[in-house]
Structure 1
Amino acid sequence: MVLALITGFTGQVGSQMADFLLENTDYNVIGMMRWQEPMDNVYHLSNRINKKDRISVFYADLTDYSSIYKLFETKRPDVIFHLAAQSFPKTSFDIPIETLHTNIIGTANILENIRLLKQKDGYDPVVHICSSSEVYGRAKVGVKLNEDTPFHGASPYSISKIGTDYLGRFYGEAYGIKTYVTRMGTHSGPRRSDVFFESTVAKQIALIEAGLQEPIIKVGNLSSVRTFQDCRDAIRAYYLLSVESQKGNVPCGEAFNIAGEEAFKLPEVIEILLGFSTRNDIKVQEDSERLRPIDADYQMFDNTKIRSFIDWKPEIPARIMFKDLLNHWRDEIKRGRIPLNR
C-alpha cells in the first residue's frame, strides 16, 4: 500500500490533493500541518482522521529540522507532495525573510533529511517539489513560457520559488533523489485563499450580496494577462506525474509547467464574476494598498512538455471554476464564516 505525505495539507491545493487521493486511489495519506493551523479546508475529513480511515495528521513545521526528521524517520512515506509554502506574492513584500526562510530552507530541510536517510538505509521516495509559474516573473509580452524560459524574480515570493525550484533539480541530479518540479500557473476554484485576485473579487461580491459590504469591489493592478486553470485539474497532473516517477519514467529533477489553456485579462475575470452576481449595481475601484511594487503582468504558458509525459489536459472550464469559487464564498457566509474584507 502506497503511503503519501502532503505538506501544506490545510491549504487549498493540499486539501484537494487529499480529497483526490482518497477518492481516486487506494493510498493511505498523511497530512502534515502545524498544530495551530486553521482547519477550515479539512473539517470534512475530520471524522476520517479521527477514525484513522486511510488518513492521519502529523504535526511538524517546515522550518524545524528535527520535526521533519521525526516525520521521515517514523513514517517513511513512499510519495511526498511538497505543497507547503508562504504562497502569496504580495504578502512576501511585507515578510520577505519569512517567505525566503519558509520556502527555501523549508524545502532544503525536507530534501536534506531524505538525502541522509537514503545514504543511511536506502530510503528512496518520490518527491514532488511545488515551484510556481511566478519564477518567470516579468515575462516579455507575446512570449509563451516553456521550461527553458529564463527566470526573472518579480517578488520575494518568486525569488523563494526560484530557490525551491533549483533545490528540487539539484537534489535530483546530485543525489539521485526521485524529485520532479512543477511550475503551476494561476489556479483557482473552491477554497482559494481570499488574498488572491479572483478570490478576493468573488469574496467581495458575496459580501455585497449578503449586505455586508458597500457595492464597491476594491482591486489592485488590472493590467495583467494570464492563463487560469482549476486547481483540481492541476492536482490530477501532480498525481499522474508521481505515478510516472514511481515507474522511473521521469528523470530526477525534471521540471514541468502546468497551466490552464484559457487566458483572460483581469477586467474580464471581474466581468465574468459579476455576470454570476444577483446584484447589478456593483462598481470597481482601484485600491493603492493592493498594488505590488512589481507585477508579473504577462503569463502565457506552453504545456507541450508535460503532455508528452502524461495523458493530461485541463478539463474544467474557467467559467465553471469562477462560478464554483463565488459559490464557495456564498456558502462560507451562509454558514456564518464572515471573511475579512482584505
Structure 2
Amino acid sequence: MRTALITGITGQDGAYLAKFLLQKGYQVHGMVRRGSTLPFERIADLTDRIELHQGDLLDQMALNRLLEKVQPTEVYNLAAQSFVPTSFDQPILTGEVTALGVTRILEAVRTVDPTIRFYQASSSEMFGKVYEEPQRESTPFWPRSPYGVSKMYGHWMTVNYRESYDLFACSGILFNHESPLRGIEFVTRKITYAVARIAQGLQNELRLGNLDAERDWGFAGDYVEAMWLMLQAEHPDDFVVATGQKHTVREFCRLAFERVELDWKKYVVVDEKFYRPADVNTLCGDPAKAKAELGWEPKVSFEQLVHMMVDADMKRVKADIKLLKEES
C-alpha cells in the first residue's frame, strides 16, 4: 500500500485529492495546523479513513518528525496562504508560508528520505502580467501580488532541489480551479453563494471588483488527478494544468444568475473597494504538455462547473432556511 502525506488537506484541493487517493488504495495522511477549532468540514466524511497530524510549514523540526513518523512514498504540498487579496495585507506571512514553507518541506524530504516523490502546488498567478497567451511551461513569470511572488519562489525552489539533489520533485502550475468546496471569499463562490441567497430573497445585491478580468476556470476534482499523474511519471517535470479556455467574471455572473432564471445586471454592483493594487487582467493556460505526456484532460466544462456550484449553494441556502424555521 502506497502512503501519501497531504499538507493543506482541509482545503478544497486537499479534500478532493484525499478522496481520489483513497479510491486508488492509498493510505492517506494529512497535516493540519493546531487551532482552537479545526476546519474539517470539507473532509468530514473522510476522517475515519485518513490520519491527521498536527504540523506547520513554519516549523522545520516538526516537518522532519512528521516525515519520519508517516514514512510517505508521496508528499503533496498544497498548504499556503492562498487568497490573493490577503497577500497584499499580509505579505510577510504569505512569504513565510507560501514561499519559505516550500523550502522547509523540501529540506525535510531531502534530509529524511530523498526517495519520496514530491508535488508542489504552483499557480498561474506566477504569470501575472503575461508575456504571451496562452501561458505554457516556458512562459516567463511576472507575478503581480505577494502571493504570486511567493508561489514563484516555491516553484523555483522545487526546480532547484530537483536539479541539486536529484529529488523526484514536480510543480503543477494550476490555473484557477473551482468547486462547491471553494472558500466563500474567492470570487467564484462569492458569486454562486450570493446568487443562491438572492434567489431565496435573503440578499439584494452582489458587489464585485473587475468584471472584465479573464480567467481559465476548471474543476478542482479534475485537477487533482493531474497532480497524481505527475508523481506517477517516469521522470519529474513541471506541467501547466488548465482548460485552455478563458472567461470573464462577467460571464461567470451571467451563467450563475441564469441558472436561477435571474438577470445578473439587476443585482451586480461594481465596487472599486474590490480592485487589487496590481491586478492580473487575463490568464489562460496551454495544457498541451499535460495531455501529451500525462494523458490528462479536463472533464467538466465551464458551464457545468458554474451550474454545479450554483446548485450546491442553492441546496446549502435552502437547508439553512429550513433549519432556521425549525429552530424558531
| TM value normalised by structure 1 | 0.89
Aligned twin of 1:212 = 202
Question: Matched residue of 2:217: which SS?
Answer: strand
Aligned twin of 1:174 = 164
| Runs (4+) off by over 4 Å | 278-282
Aligned twin of 2:235 = 250
User: Matched residues in 1 for 2:273 and 2:62: separation?
Assistant: 37
Q: Report the AA paired with residue 124 of structure 1.
A: T
Percent identity between matched residues is 29
Would you say the 8 A contact 2:245–2:285 is kept in 1?
A: no
Cα displacement (A) at 1:179: 0.2
Structure 1 portions without partners, runs of 5+: none
Cα displacement (A) at 1:226: 2.0
> Please, what is the CA RMSD of the aligned residues?
1.7
Cα displacement (A) at 1:337: 9.6
User: Matched residues in 1 for 2:70 and 2:11: separation?
Assistant: 22
Between stretches 153-162 and 294-303, larger displacement belongs to 294-303
Question: Matched residue of 1:5: which SS?
Answer: strand
Deviations, residues 133-191 of structure 1 (Å, cap 9, x unaligned)? 11000114x62211111110100000000001011101111001110011101111110
The match for 1:236 among 197, 203, 225 is 225
Between the two proteins, the alignment pairs up a number of residues equal to 319
The match for 2:51 among 40, 56, 60 is 56
Q: Report the AA paired with residue 154 of structure 2.
A: T
The match for 2:83 among 82, 88, 100 is 88
Matches within 5 A, 1:216-295: 216-244=205-233, 249-251=234-236, 254-280=237-263, 282-295=266-279
Matches within 5 A, 1:102-251: 102-118=97-113, 123-140=114-131, 143-214=133-204, 216-244=205-233, 249-251=234-236
Aligned twin of 1:73 = 68
Cα displacement (A) at 1:65: 1.5
Deviations, residues 234-280 of structure 1 (Å, cap 9, x unaligned)? 11111111111xxxx123xx211000133212211110001112545
User: Matched residues in 1 for 2:306 and 2:61: separation?
Assistant: 41
Would you say the 8 A contact 1:191–1:328 is kept in 2?
A: no
User: Matched residues in 2 for 1:283 and 1:233: separation?
Assistant: 31
The match for 2:96 among 88, 101, 111 is 101
User: Matched residues in 2 for 1:68 and 1:331: separation?
Assistant: 39
User: Matched residues in 1 for 2:200 and 2:240: separation?
Assistant: 38
Q: Report the AA paired with residue 45 of structure 1.
A: L
Cα displacement (A) at 1:101: 0.6
* Closer, same or farther: CA 337–86 of 1 in aligned 2, 3 Å: farther
